[in-house]
Each structure stands twice: as structure tokens, then as C-alpha cells.
Amino acid sequence: MVSFFKNKGQMKKREKQKIDDKDQSKSKKLEYIDSSISANLDHMKKKTGNSPDIIVRTLKISQNPEIKTTILYVQGLIDNPSVTDFLIESIMKNPHLKEKLLPKEALDVISEEVVSLGGVESVTDWEKLFLSLLSGDSIIFVDGINKALVASTRGGERRSIQEPSTHLTVRGSREGFTESNATNIAMLRRIINSQDLWIESMKIGTVTKTDVSIMYINGIAKEGIVEEVKKRLKGINIDSILESGYIEQLIEDQVMTPFPTLNHTERPDMVAGNLLEGRVAIFVNGSPFVLVAPALFVQFFQSVEDYYNRFDIASATRFLRIIVFIISIVGPAVYVAATTFHQEMIPSKLLVIVAAQRETVPLPAVVEALVMEITFEILREASLRMPKVVGSTMSIVGALVIGQAAVQAGAVSPAMVIIVSITAIASFATPSYSIAISARIVRFGFIICAGVLGFYGMILAFIVLIVHLCSLRSFGVPYMSPLAPLNPEGLGDTFFRRPMWAFKERPKLLSSNNNLIREGDNQRPLPPESRGMKTSDKKKGEGNES
């Protein structure tokens, strides 16, 4: 590790990698815990740079001779009551420890009879010890023994479970993920009570050693995809993982694309739904955003709420979203193409109105569109990053400057303002933020193409876009499926959603193929026969309702 930094800048990437690998294999030589407490504490201080947040509490147990015992923990990472009540207090007050004990016995007694905590184990090497200590566990050294006890006391101040701030819904669970993996995984466990919900954990990041867990439902998830996810995660060799975005960028299929090939969400119910379709979830400690792979294009237009609402309403909403997405991509481009190349396609009256507005505008339509779009992006970015207090001022200034002054001065045509506003609203109406961003980038390409070659340019750009989308894959699954390659069965959950009672199968390309059946036959609700146009058999009690 050290040499890696020393040589930084002097070697090429690949060579560095090699040395790095060698370093790792060297450092695999484990350092073991010494039997003397003072030696251990010295080692500790040396390794951690004498950081003051590592608290060392020395106790004495046993009699004749007294045995020195030390408890180590990191301030803030631990759950205070557990350490004080169940660790320190129990060690100090436990009658067993007042008796005469050999150091060897002492450790066993502590772990078996004294510490009233859930997890206690003994470790011998420093690496594990540090990992536990720095994750919030407490370490107990007993003088004269070259082992240490690790008591799980993880806790400390954390954000509590709150409503997620993205993917808002009217109907559905109000829980959102937090920054703690344990909490997040537990939330999923609460939703899916099955022993088939399998979880695997690993530490990624040579410095941060971030806890990363993958979760899938054994038997539903396709083995190939699970293996692929594991393989890619294991291949990561980076110093730090600070957010799930790091992982996302390191394991996606295609790098040169504006489109997301991994989905992320803050909603446990959404993850559960995805797991049940055979997808794999990746939890990254420290991030409330859980990654879901593989991600398909149509998925970004779906909201969990679609499944909670009735199918007709859900389908209509999805259809609307597609229109919204198209508007947010081509809106300004169509305006530019129509007003600078294809005036014939605008109805005469409308053309006269638009022409009247453009009389005084000094810029060509394409430049006008670009300027307005960029202005909008500036406004958006500014309002995202600035303190909330100034936000309203911002929007007033923005609206006044653009909506009023620019139009009145004749620098911008009102039609353009209308188009840009519609596009802006459209780009926020897409349920997934990540696809909305892609749409915004692609939009600029379209405007330029439309400005250069009108609809010819636009359609060319459109073809390239479609080809590009078709060429993408997410963990081996074609990005545009089930549209292309067409899977008629899968179409029921794309731009429209089939009724819940007709969800017979899981998606073929995602789920394990020998476990596709999702619901029993005849799930269509069969209420008692209606009272409408039926011949009455004149039974008693038929008139009860009235």
C-alpha cells in the first residue's frame, strides 16, 4: 500500500496495479496479538496515530494477582448503553471475576459468563481486530493472553428511518433506506420473510473498507446474473467507496452512454419488488441508495405506485410518462426544426403568430433554444445547491428575468419560453431522476442536430439514439427488453401494466427460468353474481338490500 503512494505519478497505471497486487500479497502476512497488554496498547497507538477517539478503559479483575483488563472502543461508533451497562458494569460487578482466576480462564469467563451482549468472539490477528474496532465493536484485552475478545456494540448516532426524498408516492410505504446497511437489510427482511432471501457481504475499498452486501432471492434470481454481479464486485480494487455511485460506475456494462444501466432507489418496497423479479440488490454502507441490477430501459418509467394503483390508472400514467419523456428529449428540437426548416408543417395561423413573436428576436432559433436551455439548467443547478432560504428569491429572479424582461425586450420569443418551460416540467415528471438527467443531455444533441439539418438531423439523431439503446446491455440483459428483443409475455409490464390477476410469470430474461410462475390460475376476482340483467330465481332474502 505504502509503495503505491510513493510511486504515484512515476509509473503507468498497469505497472502500478501489479505492484499493488504484490503489496497486498505481502501484507497478507498476519500480525498477531501479543500477550502483554502494554505491548498491545503500544502497537495500537502506533497503528492508529494515537487518535483520541479511541477510548482505552483499564479495569482490574480477579484477585491475587490482579489481572489487568483493557476495554477499547471508538467513541461515537458504539452504542453507549451497551458498553457501559453490559460491558464495563458487568465486568466490574460480576462476582465470578472477583474470584481468583488464571488469565486463560478469565477470557473464557468474560465471554461466556460476564458479557451480556449478543455477539462475542475472540480474535488473534490485528487486521480483524482493527476492522471490528473501527466498525464500532469493543475490544477486550486480558493481560497475558495473546487473544482479544470482540463484543459487538455497534451503534451510535445515526439518521433514523425517514420518508425517502426521491421516488415519492402517494400510496405505499413511507419508509426510506438509511445510511446503515444493517438497518437497510433488516428493512428488506421485514418485507420478504423467506429463508431464500440470501445476503452476501464483502468489504470493498482498500482504505475505507466499506461494507457492501448483495441480496437476492435464491431460486428466483438467475444464477448467471448473481455470479456476474459477484464477479464484478470482487474485481473492484479502489481505495474508497463513499457512495453506491462509486460501485455503480465501476460495475456498469457500458461506460460511454448517457443512460443508466443500473437502477438505484431509496425505497425498500421497490427493492423488494425488484428482488422478486429476479434482480440483485447491492447495499453499500453509508448510502441510502441501494443499487438494483440489471436495469432495463422501461424500468425507469415505472414507479412502485403503478403496482399499488389499479391497472387502468397505472397504465395511463405510464403512457403519460413516455410522452413526457419524449417531450423532454425532443421538445425544443422540434420547435427549432419546425421554425427554421419546415415552416410548411406549422398551420398557417400558428406560423403567423410565431413569426410575429420572432420578428424582433436577434438570435437564430437554434441559438435561442440553446441559450434558453442553458439558462434553465443554470437556474436548476443553482436552486439545487443553494441554501433553501434563498431558494424562493432565486425562483422569483429567474421567472422575472426570463419570463418577463427577456420577452418584453424582444430578446427571446414567448413561444420559446413556453417550449422551454414545458420541456423543463416534462423532465421533472419522469419518475427516475437518473433517466431525466440523460434526457436532458440528449436534448442538447437533438437541438444541435435540428439546428443543422432540421428534421433530417433530428431523425438521424433519433436513429442513432435507438441503435445506441438497443446496443446497451445491463449485466448481459439487453437494455431494451422486453421491447427489443420482443417478449410478448413481458410486454404486460412495460408501457402499460396488466391487471394484477394476470401477472402469471416473472420476466424471462431476469428470473431463473425454472421458477417463473408467479401466481396461481384464476386469480381474477369473482364477486358474487351481479343483480343486473339476471333472471330472478325468487329465493328468499334477495331483496335484503332494499
Tell me how far apart the alpha carbons of residues 76 and 57 are, in angstroms, rounded to a whole number. 15
- Closest CB to other proteins among residues 345, 390: 345
- Closest CB to other proteins among residues 176, 457: 457
Q: Spell out the residues 6+ positions from residue 228 whose beta carbon is closer than 8 angstroms to its own.
A: 475, 476
Using the rule CB under 8 A, is 355 a contact of other proteins? yes
Stretch that binds other proteins, among 68-76, 381-389, 461-469, 525-533 (CB under 8 A): 461-469
| Beta-bridge partner residues of 67 | 61
Stretch that binds other proteins, among 101-109, 265-273, 345-353, 517-525 (CB under 8 A): 345-353
User: Which of residues 459, 489, 498, 516 is near other proteins by CB under 8 A?
Assistant: 459
Using the rule CB under 8 A, is 365 a contact of other proteins? yes
Q: Cell numbers of 416, please?
A: 420559446
Using the rule CB under 8 A, is 359 a contact of other proteins? yes
Stretch that binds other proteins, among 1-9, 25-33, 173-181, 459-467 (CB under 8 A): 459-467
Smallest distance from other proteins to CB 397, Å: 24
Tell me how far apart the alpha carbons of residues 201 and 189 are, in angstroms, rounded to a whole number. 15
Smallest distance from other proteins to CB 375, Å: 20
User: Which of residues 182, 191, 199, 351 is near other proteins by CB under 8 A?
Assistant: 351
Whether 71 contacts 57, CB under 8 Å:
yes
Stretch that binds other proteins, among 34-42, 59-67, 128-136, 339-347 (CB under 8 A): 339-347
Using the rule CB under 8 A, is 69 a contact of other proteins? no
Using the rule CB under 8 A, is 485 a contact of other proteins? yes
User: Which of residues 103, 219, 286, 364 is near other proteins by CB under 8 A?
Assistant: 364
User: Which of residues 51, 201, 249, 343 is near other proteins by CB under 8 A?
Assistant: 343
Smallest distance from other proteins to CB 456, Å: 6
Tell me how far apart the alpha carbons of residues 225 and 511 are, in angstroms, rounded to a whole number. 9
Q: Reduced to 3 states, what is the DSSP secondary structure of residue 498?
A: coil
In the sheet that holds 280-284, the strands lie side by side as: 197-204, 210-217, 280-284, 290-293, 263-265
Q: Cell numbers of 9, please?
A: 505519478
Using the rule CB under 8 A, is 254 a contact of other proteins? no
Using the rule CB under 8 A, is 471 a contact of other proteins? yes
User: Which of residues 130, 308, 433, 456 is near other proteins by CB under 8 A?
Assistant: 456
Binding residues for other proteins, rule CB under 8 A, total 47
From the list 249, 254, 247, the residue with the least C-alpha distance to 233 is: 247
Pairing of strands 263-265, 477-478: unpaired
- Closest CB to other proteins among residues 344, 537: 344
Whether 448 contacts 441, CB under 8 Å:
no
- Closest CB to other proteins among residues 256, 526: 256
Stretch that binds other proteins, among 30-38, 219-227, 275-283, 448-456 (CB under 8 A): 448-456
Q: What is the DSSP letter of 221?
A: B
Smallest distance from other proteins to CB 350, Å: 8
Q: Cell numbers of 473, please?
A: 446491455
Using the rule CB under 8 A, is 484 a contact of other proteins? yes
Using the rule CB under 8 A, is 478 a contact of other proteins? yes
Whether 152 contacts 137, CB under 8 Å:
yes
Backbone φ, ψ for residue 92 (5° rounding): -70, -35
Using the rule CB under 8 A, is 347 a contact of other proteins? yes
Site mask, other proteins, residues 379-418, x = CB under 8 A? -----------------------------------x----
Q: Spell out the residues 6+ positions from residue 309 whose beta carbon is closer than 8 angstroms to its own.
A: 171, 317
Q: Write out the H or E segment, with its range, that includes residue 394.
A: helix 388-398
Distance of CA 199 to the CA centre of its chain: 17
Tell me how far apart the alpha carbons of residues 309 and 177 are, in angstroms, rounded to a whole number. 23
Stretch that binds other proteins, among 62-70, 352-360, 398-406, 418-426 (CB under 8 A): 352-360
User: Which of residues 316, 460, 502, 517 is near other proteins by CB under 8 A?
Assistant: 460
Stretch that binds other proteins, among 72-80, 447-455, 503-511, 532-540 (CB under 8 A): 447-455
Using the rule CB under 8 A, is 348 a contact of other proteins? yes
Whether 181 contacts 281, CB under 8 Å:
no
Q: Write out the H or E segment, with its range, that includes residue 282.
A: strand 280-284
Q: Reduced to 3 states, what is the DSSP secondary structure of residue 57?
A: strand
Q: Spell out the residues 6+ positions from residue 473 whose beta carbon is closer than 8 angstroms to its own.
A: 253, 254, 261, 479
Helical residues (DSSP H) of 110-180, grouped into ranges: 126-135
Using the rule CB under 8 A, is 371 a contact of other proteins? no
Smallest distance from other proteins to CB 469, Å: 8
Whether 405 contacts 396, CB under 8 Å:
no
Interacting residue ranges for other proteins, rule: CB under 8 A: 339-348, 350-361, 364-365, 414, 448, 451-457, 459-460, 463-464, 466-467, 470-471, 478, 480, 483-486
